[in-house]
Structure 1
Amino acid sequence: MLVVAEVRRSPADERWCENVTVEFRNDGGTAVRSGTVVFGTHIIGVLGTDWATIDSTRKLPSPIAAGAARTTAYRVCVDSWRVPLGMRVETRDVRAEHP
């Protein structure tokens, strides 16, 4: 059972990107050998309105041994045209999927 234990966000140098650090914890009895991380990045307007959520995926940092934890940093971006001046992104949803 793979758990997303902690997510830390920090701004990137472009408004349509964010640096996201994720801690994965394998609470299961066998190693996780493959899978993906799904990021739900929200497009936030000037007044705080959530305009859209864009999903993107990356590979899991595998293998993750049973009982172990691993922390990995990702740069998560959406298309620049989706984030006009004055708007920003927030990667609020992170989940791990594995077979």
Structure 2
Amino acid sequence: MRAATDQRWCEDVTLVFRNSGGAAVRSGTVRFGTHVIGALGVDWGTVESEVELPAPVEGGARKGRTWTVCVEEWRVPLGMHIETRDVDVRWK
């Protein structure tokens, strides 16, 4: 789930992780692909960022977390906004 913030170059991104296995996930990373969108809906580019997975996630458990994802202010001129559309999770 995404939610706008008061800065056009940031948004709050909420993810829920579900471990359907029997063993705990002890570490990992979450990579965001944040798209810069123009006033007419044109995708001007993607900026990647990475954070640590909120571990541990025990077997059979769910864990949610919200991150404020931002790109550099200069990348988002007035009239444009961002959308974090891509998420890649890697765990150990």
- TM bucket (normalised to shorter chain) is over 0.9
Does residue 28 of the first structure (1) align with residue 21 of the second (2)? yes
Q: Provide the TM-score with structure 2 as the length reference.
A: 0.96
In structure 2, how many angstroms separate the alpha carbons of the residues matched to 1:13 and 1:38?
23
Q: For structure 1, list consecutive stretches of 5 or more residues without a partner in the other structure.
A: 1-7
- Structure 2 unaligned segments of length 5 or more: list them: none
Tell me the residue number matched to 2:61: 68
User: Deviations for 1:65-96, whole angstroms, at most 9, x for unmatched residues?
Assistant: 01111010100000111001100000011121
> In 2, distance between residues paired with 1:9 and 1:65?
25
**Correspondence for 1:90:** 83
Query: What's 2:71 paired with?
Result: 78
**Structure showing greater relative contact order (alpha-carbon pairs closer than 8 Å, 6 or more residues apart):** 2
CA distance in 2, matches of 1:24, 1:65: 11
Deviations 1:31-88 (A, max 9, x none): 0100111111000001000010111011111000011110101000001110011000
Amino acid in the other structure paired with 1:23: V
Q: Indicate which of 18, 39, 42 corresponds to 2:35.
A: 42
Aligned counterparts of 1:38 and 1:95: Cα–Cα separation in 2: 5
Matched, 1:16 2:9: yes
| TM-score, length basis structure 1 | 0.90
1:67 partner SS: coil
Number of equivalences:
92
